Structure 1
Amino acid sequence: MTGFVMGDHFMEVVPMGEGCSETLFKLIKDKRIISCAACVNPPSQMPAVWDITSIVRKDKVRFLSTLPGFSIIPACEDSHQEKEWGQFLNFLQKHNRVAISNFGLFEFYILPPLEGSKSNLAIVRYKGTASRTSPAGAGVADSDQISAPTSQSQAGEVAMSISNLTQNKYSPEIHCAEVNGDYSCDLSAKASSQLGNYVETVKSFQRNYVTAHPSYLKTLGQAHSSWIFGAVAELVDNARDAKATKLEIAINKFYSKIACKEIPMLSLIDDGHGMNHADIQRMISFGHGQTEVDDPNHIGMYGIGFKTGTMRLGKDALVLTQTTNSRSIAFLSQSLNEGKDNLEIPIVSYRRVGPSMEVDTDVQNKDAAKLYLKIIKRYSPFDKYLIGEKVGIFGADGTGTQIYMWNLDEWGSDYSLQWETGIAGGSSFHQGGIFIRSKRTRCRPGQISLSVPLDYCLKSYLEVIFLNPRMKIYVQGALVRSRPLAKSLNKTTVENDTILGKPVQLTLGRSQLEWEQANCGIFLYWHGRLIEAYKRVGSMIHNGDCGRGIIGVADVTKIMDDGNGCVWVHSNKQGFQDCEAYAVLEQWLGEKANEYIDKYVDKIQLRKGNASAKPDHEWVQCDQCRKWRMLSTDFDSKTLPSQWFCYMKPYNGLCDTPEESISSGTITISTKRHGYNTKDPRNSFREREASRSEGISNYASDSEEDDVKVIVKRARARESHARSCKKN
């Protein structure tokens, strides 16, 4: 241990002899410290601060002799506290009074030494107040009489209940109460309160505890047990919600003094607006409610994404976050809490004072900050130099959030994630990446292809994770080139309809890349975030090769809103709940996919020279404004530089110009129909179609007609009727 500072001696329990121990705390009245004191043989872990809420006459609490108790002795830090302690005991003794310290459902009664005694020891009796109806923290003097336990059995139950306080008998709701300049987490139920924050050993301050057993961290990680990239997506969502313009994801080696070797550490660093103390306290806490308003520009809903994501990826996570006027460090760790009965999450917060950051004494005292920093240094690869290095990433006035995870999830004798470091300045073939080691494809009805890079390559997943990508994402130092699916299809068609009274738009087309990989299906987005990929619908389910290369894109945000502030999306954001809206949506998607296949796929076109299905238009994204620009048909996209801006060829425009929408080359099959019967979702969509646009009839006479010949239609399963095949 380097150097001795005030508070260091609180790190260990000081024995008083065989079978005896003491625990220090601060005794305060009206937010002023009387003295530090020690509990001699307390029945359980004691709160770090005792606030005297009232002082009453001893004859008003006649039942004290029936209550269990223990002793407290002074542990004064200076002569002033020695004087205050003596005056405090003299006052109680002279006026025959009892000091009461109230902790919600429990009260401590501090009795003075016997008359004539020169001892500085005081006796403490304690009882539960479960029958009280006054608010937590109210003084005992508010009532004229206090009922005593009616029997020894009841007194024993009171003693047992206070002991059980250290065994996670809490409600997950969190309240904060100010005590002597500190904000302590009072983890209590609305109808019941407990002793507040606890110290396992002797401390002179309160510690941030949450009402959960440490094993709950492992349970949280199971939300993404089937697909680890779902955990990464949770943290990417948080960066997007923070309005970040840049996100860096990487796995690098760091030396661990605990393991005595280098270990891999996964990091996500963004330049968003960061979090203040209240924000990060909410992020790491448990049990707070979901947002009441369904904000279409916000992905986070349930308040558990950070915890489920980090605990799936690794056992330990450290967060550095900075706003314009604050900085915080939080440590969510399974290693720190191993073997404990209650979960502890250290948080150290700073506030800007002039050009520098100082400990924010409005939310913690300096002793707490020092101890938590020591804990972080002890249980993580971070020392003061590494912390300083990472803080330097923010810059003097920068903002953002950095998340570091280590003790990564394991796959046999290795890690679940596999990573490659790219060559600086190398070609796209020499860029690094992060992969799922098993490289297994996810299970989807009707899927036969084993080549689904999105399932095991992080870059491939991040290319399509957002419907309208705006944030630059780097993986192992290489920029992820976003792929706007709806703008990269061949023979694109757009369907507009109303389902259960809510509008929906589906873009369908053919993708050469997906045809080569034998993939197809619908990509469903919610709040602009990919929820389901390659969802096979209609005849795609019954025939593995039917619809090969056909891709659909739909944003179902409005459909998946139940109208009462809730959404039909799983909390892990990897699927939709089983509900009427989803069932009707599936049927509608199947009908439209079948119609597209009937018109354009069953007539197989064999092109000369193995010509590929090029997109109707090629697009490029500006690295400044992040808008997509349509390239002219005669421009070769392969000649574009690695960094492209709106002023460059062939666009030669301004970033202020609005982004183009899909228009030229798009065939609109149908528009919104008012005759849709929302009460009968099984009605045939074909019977309700009014007409098709004239563009369909001209489709077969496009410029490529000379290069194709029409052969017999491919037989496939039909949902509505069987079709016989005749030999030519």
Structure 2
Amino acid sequence: MAEPISGSIPLSALNPQYLHANSTSHTWPFSAIAELIDNAYDPDVNAKQLWIDWKRINDVDCLTFMDNGAGMDNEKMHQMLSFGFSNKQGVGGHAAVGLYGNGFKSGSMRLGKDTIVFSKNQDGMTVGLLSQSYLQAIGARYVVVPIVTFKKDGEDKFSAMPEHSNSLKAILEHSLFGTVEAVLSEFKAIDDGSAAAGQSCSGTRIIIWNLRRSGDGQMEFDFETDKNDIQIPFNDCTDGREGTSARPKSVPPMQYSLRAYCSILYLRPWMQIIIRGAKVKTQLVSKSLAHTITDQYTPQFLKQSIRIIFGYNTKSKEQYGIMMYHKNRLIRAYQRVGCQLKANAMAVGVIGIIECDFLKPTHNKQDFDDTEEYRKIKYNLGVKLKEYWEEIRYKRKAENPNSTTEVKDIEKTPDQQWDSEYRSCRVPEEPEEPGQEQPYEKTFKKQEKKKKEQQKRNRQMISEDTEQSQSPFATPVKESGTRQSTRAGLRRT
């Protein structure tokens, strides 16, 4: 029965089947992983490092996530394993990505059927279980989440709180850890991570097992191709025919490499990510482009302008489009707009970067709600993109009048030199706040305007001359030197 509250009005119940249904919002497995990364990144946790790994526990394939952030007590663990609890607030310019109180549940259940969470702070150690296998085994009608808090009862001894005995029994019977000692040993990994960062022993460790597999039983992830990465296997779609197709060049590495995805996940990184023992090298997209130009756009529904950065991809001309961020987090990658949607070479190789904090992401944080504002933004990004493309072509033609090579086809190097040893840029950073920069001077548009004005004047002259010549009362009038030369020029053309 549903639990009654005051006035005998029952609480809504949550069926275990919802755990799977909710996870299907993530059609791409990396979007599920990103939800777990966001939880460590957000200011309420404020982890300095996050470790992502694959390991075998009791001969079972597992994904592990561990951070050295603030950790959780019993109440916060309960909220994390429940639905819709989110009171995250930005701190000191560090905006919270979490919005709906659903990311951990949808993300973890997308990756595997079962998850156990270990968390530690100064108040104690807490472990919680969110497991579809457990709920199925006990024939649960509603989602239940066993949670146990361990308190220190001696110098180096911890004991489960007596009121959590049933939860402890469930965790020992239905997780990968069959003894209290095995459970407590997982907290030592948190201690090691915190100590490595020179912090007090706090943080969270998540272990996911019964990982999703394809219809033929193969793992969803490829752990073999790169020992320091987690990749999505390439389906060559040859259907057994002779020969094997290669992954298309137009597919960005972020689509199949977790390392590549994490490198651009945040516009301004706050947290270091370590995948399978190797640090992720952050790629600041705006500093890896050539022919970089900053523009501005002021929507009618906003009082302030939005900064847009355009530039040419220096790595692959086949990978282009708009990188759309929200509160520092990548939402849409390589979103093609305007002329890039047409079957021609216009703006091929051009990347745009914009931060759309005024839009609302969808629940899986891989797109924005399809609102009128979103559609207007994409339309105007297309306009700005075409202006940029024409401006760069115009400048190149002015510098190299005899060149017939398109900008997209020439070899390019980034405008800013990135110091890989110190992970710093030798060129001063652009202002963080929009509106502090003036849009670039659009010389191409000025020239086009002058041409149109001259063409209009020429048409007016021709019209006036035609009217005079057709008038029966017209008398020859000696033209000025300027007008004679203009008409002579028109006749020659």
2: CA distance, partners of 1:403 / 1:605: 56
> What does 1:447-462 correspond to in 2, within 5 Å?
450-462=250-262
Distance apart, 1:440 and its partner CA: 8.5
Counterpart amino acid of residue 373 in structure 2:
A
Task: Show the counterpart of 2:35.
Answer: 234
Task: Show the counterpart of 2:83.
Answer: 286
Task: Show the counterpart of 2:441.
Answer: 692
Task: Show the counterpart of 2:222.
Answer: 418
1: CA distance, partners of 2:4 / 2:249: 52
Distance apart, 1:292 and its partner CA: 8.8
**2:231 aligns with one of 435, 450, 462:** 435
- 2:391, 2:443 within 8 Å by CA — same for their partners in 1? no
Task: Show the counterpart of 2:365.
Answer: 573
Task: Show the counterpart of 1:343.
Answer: 143
Task: Show the counterpart of 2:376.
Answer: 584
Counterpart amino acid of residue 591 in structure 1:
V
Specify whether residues 301 and 190 from structure 1 end up closer, same or farther in structure 2 by C-alpha distance, changes over 3 A only: farther
Distance apart, 1:393 and its partner CA: 1.5
Specify whether residues 401 and 293 from structure 1 end up closer, same or farther in structure 2 by C-alpha distance, changes over 3 A only: closer
> What does 1:34-433 correspond to in 2, within 5 Å?
165=1, 170=2, 187-188=3-4, 192-193=8-9, 211-224=13-26, 226-241=27-42, 242-255=45-58, 262-288=59-85, 290-291=86-87, 297-338=95-136, 339-352=139-152, 355-356=155-156, 358-359=158-159, 361=161, 366=162, 368-384=163-179, 385-395=181-191, 397-412=200-215, 413-420=217-224, 431-433=227-229
1: CA distance, partners of 2:155 / 2:187: 14
Distance apart, 1:276 and its partner CA: 1.3
Distance apart, 1:581 and its partner CA: 1.6
Specify whether residues 670 and 539 from structure 1 end up closer, same or farther in structure 2 by C-alpha distance, changes over 3 A only: farther
1: CA distance, partners of 2:280 / 2:88: 34
Specify whether residues 269 and 544 from structure 1 end up closer, same or farther in structure 2 by C-alpha distance, changes over 3 A only: farther
- 2:263, 2:280 within 8 Å by CA — same for their partners in 1? yes
Specify whether residues 547 and 211 from structure 1 end up closer, same or farther in structure 2 by C-alpha distance, changes over 3 A only: same
2: CA distance, partners of 1:188 / 1:308: 27
Counterpart amino acid of residue 279 in structure 1:
K
2: CA distance, partners of 1:247 / 1:353: 30
2: CA distance, partners of 1:373 / 1:455: 40
Distance apart, 1:390 and its partner CA: 1.5
SS at match of 1:410: coil
SS at match of 2:107: helix
Distance apart, 1:387 and its partner CA: 2.2
> What does 1:711-722 correspond to in 2, within 5 Å?
none
Q: Which has the higher strand share?
A: 1
- 1:330, 1:346 within 8 Å by CA — same for their partners in 2? yes
Counterpart amino acid of residue 487 in structure 1:
K
1: CA distance, partners of 2:277 / 2:224: 11
Segments of 5+ residues of structure 2 without an aligned counterpart are 238-247, 398-402, 447-493
Distance apart, 1:211 and its partner CA: 2.9
2: CA distance, partners of 1:337 / 1:467: 39
Give TM-score, length-normalised by structure 1. Answer: 0.52
Deviations 1:198-231 (A, max 9, x none): xxxxxxxxxxxx931111111111111x211110
- 1:421, 1:476 within 8 Å by CA — same for their partners in 2? no
Counterpart amino acid of residue 337 in structure 1:
L
Distance apart, 1:294 and its partner CA: 7.5
1: CA distance, partners of 2:406 / 2:89: 52
Give TM-score, length-normalised by structure 2. Answer: 0.75
Distance apart, 1:544 and its partner CA: 5.8
Task: Show the counterpart of 2:462.
Answer: none
Counterpart amino acid of residue 182 in structure 2:
L
2: CA distance, partners of 1:392 / 1:614: 46
- 1:440, 1:456 within 8 Å by CA — same for their partners in 2? no
Distance apart, 1:503 and its partner CA: 2.4
Counterpart amino acid of residue 326 in structure 1:
G
> What does 1:12-23 correspond to in 2, within 5 Å?
none
Distance apart, 1:487 and its partner CA: 1.3
Distance apart, 1:543 and its partner CA: 2.5
1: CA distance, partners of 2:290 / 2:7: 62
Pick 1 or 2: higher relative contact order, CA cutoff 8 A, min separation 6.
Answer: 2
- 2:84, 2:100 within 8 Å by CA — same for their partners in 1? no
1: CA distance, partners of 2:420 / 2:170: 45
Segments of 4+ in structure 1 off by > 4 A?
187-191, 290-296, 352-361, 438-441, 601-605, 693-697
Task: Show the counterpart of 2:474.
Answer: none
* Identical-pair percentage: 28
Distance apart, 1:243 and its partner CA: 0.8
Distance apart, 1:193 and its partner CA: 4.9
Superposition CA RMSD, Å: 3.2
Deviations 1:37-85 (A, max 9, x none): xxxxxxxxxxxxxxxxxxxxxxxxxxxxxxxxxxxxxxxxxxxxxxxxx
- 1:537, 1:589 within 8 Å by CA — same for their partners in 2? yes
SS at match of 1:402: strand
Deviations 1:373-417 (A, max 9, x none): 232222222133432332112228411110000000111211111
Specify whether residues 494 and 575 from structure 1 end up closer, same or farther in structure 2 by C-alpha distance, changes over 3 A only: same
1:629 and 2:424 aligned: yes
SS at match of 1:435: coil
SS at match of 2:141: coil
Specify whether residues 302 and 189 from structure 1 end up closer, same or farther in structure 2 by C-alpha distance, changes over 3 A only: farther
Deviations 1:108-147 (A, max 9, x none): xxxxxxxxxxxxxxxxxxxxxxxxxxxxxxxxxxxxxxxx
1:671 and 2:438 aligned: yes
Segments of 5+ residues of structure 1 without an aligned counterpart are 1-164, 171-186, 197-209, 256-261, 423-430, 442-447, 561-567, 633-659, 673-690, 698-728
